[in-house]
Chains A and B, each alone.
Chain A
Amino acid sequence: MKILIVDDDVEITKAVRDVVKMAGHDFQSSNDPRDGLKLIREQDQDMVFLDLSMPEFSGIDIIKNLAKDGKIKEKKIVVLTASAVGDEELDGLVELGIHSFLKKPVDIDAILDKIDEIGSS
């Protein structure tokens, strides 16, 4: 599978990327949300791990843009979130068309399960 990780935290990006890599998948990563949006729009990935709280241009902005494009569902966006984001906000994102979300700190099993879930669907 080809998997994209968008998170402004370099350490988290590296860690998730390493899990994806060790699980035998192709990966792309971006620490810049605008660049991340461009990658999602222009390239085909099987799924995207997307951080929500990024400065200036947030994961929510990315999701809103993709929802406008009308192709968000096929992008299989898995939101990575710390609890700073309210549950109600997350419900709103699901309505916008994200696939699901994982709460930080995520562990390997959660990441691998999510990849399997999307890979087998």
Chain B
Amino acid sequence: MVKRALGLEKKNENSRKQLLDFKIALEEAAIVSILDTNEKITFVNKQFCKASQYSKEELLGQTYKITYSGYHTPEFFKEIKNMLTSGETWRGEINNKAKDGSFYWLKSVIIPVLNEEKEITSYIQVATDITEAKNKEELLLESDKEKSKTIEMQLEELKSVDKQKDEFVAMMSHELKTPITPIKIYSSSLRRPKWLGELNENQKKAVDAIHFNVLRLEKIVGDLLDAQKLELGKMKFEKKEIKVDELMDMMTKNLISQTEEKGCQLINHTTEKNTIKSDASRLAQVLTNLINNSIDFIPKDVGKIEINAQKSDNGLLFSVKDNGIGMSLETQKKLFKKFFQTDTSIKRKHGGTGLGLAICKGIVEALGGKIWMESQEGKGSDFYFTIPEEETK
């Protein structure tokens, strides 16, 4: 019995020592306070006084509201109270106000202490000061906000510049078109001997050059305008029934002389008689662009361009194949982008704005189709595009 009592005493002694150790550890490391069930402060440690700048005397008997900062909503405290009164431990971060009015942040654990009857007798709060980390966090948040604000402003600015650019291009194209009209009319007039008199051979050549170049200029301005319209979704399409074989015949007729000038062949393989509902002049524009493109890149005298239009699973399939210089995979990837040309030397050699294929893509896609190409360097290029089933009759 005595032995047992002695053992118990020793056990108690150990527990007490352990508790003391805890107390010292807590005193040093943590901010500790105890509230009674009326939320009045019954205990604070030195660290609590240091953080709050109040003395022990000032704090004892006060409610927790003495360090209330106004940062949190009433719901925040209600939630803490709800958890604690139902016997649960609350963990979280609380903003407090010190005696001098400055704010400090506590990372807290609040534990409800229960008696043997499982009634709550007090609340122990153990906390650490995280003000420094919190301030850094808020600074970061602030600078993030600042940054995203700047980015937003820059984006707005870019959008407005982009709009200005669109308006500028539209205005410029219009302005450029105006003087083209009289140049074109007078260069054509000069080519009519009955109107302005017979020209000698050199004069004829000069006038032909003027005429050829004004047509080129007209094409460039037209391309710019088309690209702009497609970009803004403002291109209007007039869908009518088209006899595809007749369209392909017309394309051949229109472009055969240009091909033959280069000593090359343009062969139309279209045999199927299909009717589709689409925009004939825009389809002709796509085909003209593709064929002209091929004419540029086929070798003189041995070049060959083959065109066809036939039914496929994805609607009507148009193809323009040539035995020209072809292109690398790298080039193929960028081919349908605006202003793209394989390199400046080709641009010099072949002219053009680099808008042709981008326009083709825009038109085909606006008509509901797809455009793509297959090519091998040195072996020629095959261009394909489809006009979808619902447009096919």
What is the interface of chain A, defined by CB distance below 8 A to chain B? 9, 11-12, 14-16, 18-19, 22, 53, 82-84, 86-88, 104-109, 111
Across-interface contacts of A88 in B (CB, < 8 A): 236
B178 engages A107 (CB within 8 Å): no
If over half of B's interface residues share one DSSP class (helix, strand or loop), that class is named, otherwise mixed; here it is helix
Across-interface contacts of A106 in B (CB, < 8 A): 181, 184-185
16 new A-B contacts, CB < 8 A, other than A18-B185, A86-B236, A104-B178, are A11-B179, A14-B182, A15-B185, A19-B185, A19-B189, A22-B195, A83-B173, A83-B177, A84-B173, A104-B180, A106-B184, A107-B184, A107-B188, A108-B185, A108-B189, A108-B192
A86-B234, A86-B236 known; A18 vs B189 contact (CB < 8 Å): yes
B218 on interface, CB distance cutoff 8 Å? yes
A18 vs chain B, min Cβ distance (A): 7
B178 engages A12 (CB within 8 Å): yes
A82 engages B185 (CB within 8 Å): no
| A-B contact number at CB 8 A | 61
Across-interface contacts of A83 in B (CB, < 8 A): 173-174, 177, 225, 229
Across-interface contacts of B229 in A (CB, < 8 A): 83
Partner of A108, one of B174, B188, B234: B188
Partner of B180, one of A14, A22, A105, A108: A105
B339 on interface, CB distance cutoff 8 Å? no
What residue in chain B is nearest A11 (Cβ atoms)?
B182
Across-interface contacts of B178 in A (CB, < 8 A): 9, 11-12, 82, 104
Across-interface contacts of B71 in A (CB, < 8 A): none
**Which residues 224-244 of B sit at the A interface, judged by CB distance below 8 A?**
225, 229, 234, 236
Bound Cα distance from A39 to B324, whole angstroms: 58
If over half of A's interface residues share one DSSP class (helix, strand or loop), that class is named, otherwise mixed; here it is helix
B181 engages A104 (CB within 8 Å): yes
B372 on interface, CB distance cutoff 8 Å? no
Across-interface contacts of A19 in B (CB, < 8 A): 185, 189
B68 on interface, CB distance cutoff 8 Å? no
B182 engages A12 (CB within 8 Å): yes
Q: List 14 A-B contacts (CB under 8 A).
A: A15-B182, A22-B192, A53-B174, A82-B174, A82-B177, A83-B173, A84-B171, A88-B236, A104-B180, A105-B177, A105-B180, A105-B184, A106-B181, A107-B185
Bound Cα distance from A82 to B178, whole angstroms: 8
**Which residues 125-181 of B sit at the A interface, judged by CB distance below 8 A?**
170-171, 173-174, 177-181
B218 engages A105 (CB within 8 Å): yes
B181 engages A12 (CB within 8 Å): yes
B367 vs chain A, min Cβ distance (A): 16
Across-interface contacts of B180 in A (CB, < 8 A): 104-105
B22 on interface, CB distance cutoff 8 Å? no
B77 on interface, CB distance cutoff 8 Å? no
B186 on interface, CB distance cutoff 8 Å? yes
Closest 10 A-B residue pairs measured CB to CB? A15-B182, A15-B185, A105-B181, A105-B180, A87-B236, A84-B174, A108-B188, A11-B182, A22-B195, A82-B177
Bound Cα distance from A68 to B181, whole angstroms: 31
Across-interface contacts of A9 in B (CB, < 8 A): 178
Bound Cα distance from A84 to B195, whole angstroms: 32
Bound Cα distance from A110 to B129, whole angstroms: 86
Bound Cα distance from A97 to B188, whole angstroms: 31
B271 vs chain A, min Cβ distance (A): 34
